[in-house]
């Protein structure tokens, strides 16, 4: 069987947080987090996505975060830049700049809030794919955007050379199966706790939230599944499940992951409004889960 389009992005990609301190992007901490990911063996870094609080970044910050990640990674890991928008013109501007800076691919979220028709989705992604030379990963997350990109639209998009991947975050295993069975696109899980089920039907990895915290554990799961060692993959899945579940279940992403990273000394935990801190009750639940998993404390945030 020939390799799928986008298969060079198989494995663990991490949707990295954007660290803030005193209301500003903390670029020194961002560089530390990139080094942490590279040391763990993370295949690809995904800045300025949902986990990176991209809706709260100014245009200048959005551009600079992507540039900083590309420069810090320096070819040691791929960079899939989050450059989507509900405005096609804005998505084009962001993506052109990221491509010029050296991004390896672009993550393109479905246009949110304005809820286009399926033809609107198609024309939006087509315009981006035909404008830049880097691969496009279509990000289907209707819980955030308000509308789902239907399988038939993704099938149409798969005929475009520049569309190579789908980040599948609908929560529907049937949707994942349909895309894999009818296109040559690489499918990446957009939900940590569904990574193993999706890989069992042919997905090739994950764009992970919990990977900010425990990338090595996610790599073990993904590699075992990719090698067909599903007994080992199941063990890794069940060990990770509670932690993965809380990253999206306790509060809206990235509130829990930033709280967890603060607890182990790897981030300030700051969020930008309208995102607010995890409440004390959920914080206690998260701390207990971290302790049960055995996430090691790092040096205190200074």
Q: What digits encode the pLDDT tens for the residues 101-136?
A: 999 999 999 999 999 999 999 999 999 999 999 999
Asked if residue 250 belongs to a domain, the reply is no
Asked if residue 262 belongs to a domain, the reply is no
Q: Cα separation of 48 and 82, whole Å?
A: 5
Query: Is 168 or 302 the better-scoring residue by pLDDT?
Result: 168
Tally of structural domains, the chain: 1
pTM: 0.97
pLDDT of residue 296: 79
Asked if residue 284 belongs to a domain, the reply is no
* pLDDT at 1 exceeding the cut of 90: no
Asked if residue 56 belongs to a domain, the reply is yes
What percent of the chain shows pLDDT beyond 70?
98
pLDDT of residue 292: 94
pLDDT of residue 298: 62
Asked if residue 176 belongs to a domain, the reply is yes
Asked if residue 265 belongs to a domain, the reply is no
Mean pLDDT over 30-41 rounds to 98
pLDDT of residue 2: 74
Q: What is the DSSP string of the chain?
A: -PPPBTGGG-EEEEE----EETTEE-HHHHHHHHHHHHHHT-SEEE-SSTTTTGGGS-HHHHHHHHHHHHHHHTTSSEEEEE---SSHHHHHHHHHHHHHHT-SEEEEEPPPSS---HHHHHHHHHHHHTT-SS-EEEEE-HHHHSSPPPHHHHHHHTTSTTEEEEEE-SS-HHHHHHHHHH--BEEEESSGGGHHHHHHTT--EEEESGGGT-HHHHHHHHHHHHTT-HHHHHHHHHHHHHHHHHHHHSSSTTHHHHHHHHHTTSS-----TT--PPPHHHHHHHHHHHHHHTPPP-SPP-
Contact 293, 214 (CB under 8 A): yes
pLDDT of residue 297: 74
What percent of the chain shows pLDDT beyond 90?
96
pLDDT of residue 287: 95
Contact 130, 91 (CB under 8 A): no
- What residue numbers bound the domain in which 17 lies? 7-227
- At 245-287, the pLDDT tens digits run 999 999 999 999 999 999 999 999 999 999 999 999 999 999 9
Asked if residue 168 belongs to a domain, the reply is yes
* pLDDT at 57 exceeding the cut of 60: yes
Mean pLDDT over 30-46 rounds to 98
CATH number, domain of 62, equals 3.20.20.70
> What amino acid positions are annotated as catalytic residues?
139, 167
| Angle formed by the axes of helices 255-263 and 230-249, nearest 10° | 100
Asked if residue 251 belongs to a domain, the reply is no
What is the β-pairing status of strands 20-21 and 24-25? antiparallel
Average pLDDT score over the chain: 96
* pLDDT at 302 exceeding the cut of 60: no
């Amino acid at each position: 069987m020939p390799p799928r389009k986008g298969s060079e992005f198989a494995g663990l990609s991490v949707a990295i947080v954007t660290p803030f301190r005193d209301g500003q992007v903390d670029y020194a901490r961002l560089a530390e987090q990139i080094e942490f990911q590279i040391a763990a063996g993370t295949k690809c870094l995904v800045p300025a996505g949902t986990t990176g609080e991209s809706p709260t970044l100014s245009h200048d910050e959005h551009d600079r975060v992507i540039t900083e990640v590309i420069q810090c990674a320096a070819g040691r890991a791929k960079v899939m830049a989050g450059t989507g928008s509900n405005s096609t013109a804005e998505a084009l501007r962001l993506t052109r700049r990221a491509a010029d800076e050296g991004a390896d691919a672009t993550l393109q979220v479905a246009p949110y809030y304005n809820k286009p028709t399926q033809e609107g989705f198609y024309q939006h992604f087509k315009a981006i794919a035909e404008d830049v030379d880097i691969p496009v990963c279509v990000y289907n997350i209707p819980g955030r955007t308000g509308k789902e990109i239907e399988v038939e639209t993704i099938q149409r998009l798969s005929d475009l050379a520049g569309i190579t991947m789908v980040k599948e975050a609908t929560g529907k295993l049937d949707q994942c199966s349909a895309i894999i069975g009818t296109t040559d696109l690489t499918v990446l899980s957009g939900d940590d706790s569904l990574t193993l089920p999706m890989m069992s039907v042919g997905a090739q990895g994950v764009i992970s939230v919990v990977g900010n915290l425990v990338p090595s554990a996610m790599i073990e799961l993904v590699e075992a599944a990719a090698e067909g060692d599903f007994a080992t993959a199941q063990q890794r899945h069940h060990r990770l499940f509670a932690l993965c579940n809380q990253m999206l279940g306790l509060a809206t992403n990235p509130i829990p992951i930033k709280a967890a990273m603060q607890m182990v000394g790897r981030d300030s935990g700051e969020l930008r409004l309208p995102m607010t801190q995890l409440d004390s009750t959920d914080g206690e639940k998260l701390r207990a889960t971290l302790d049960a998993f055995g996430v090691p404390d790092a040096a205190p945030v200074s």
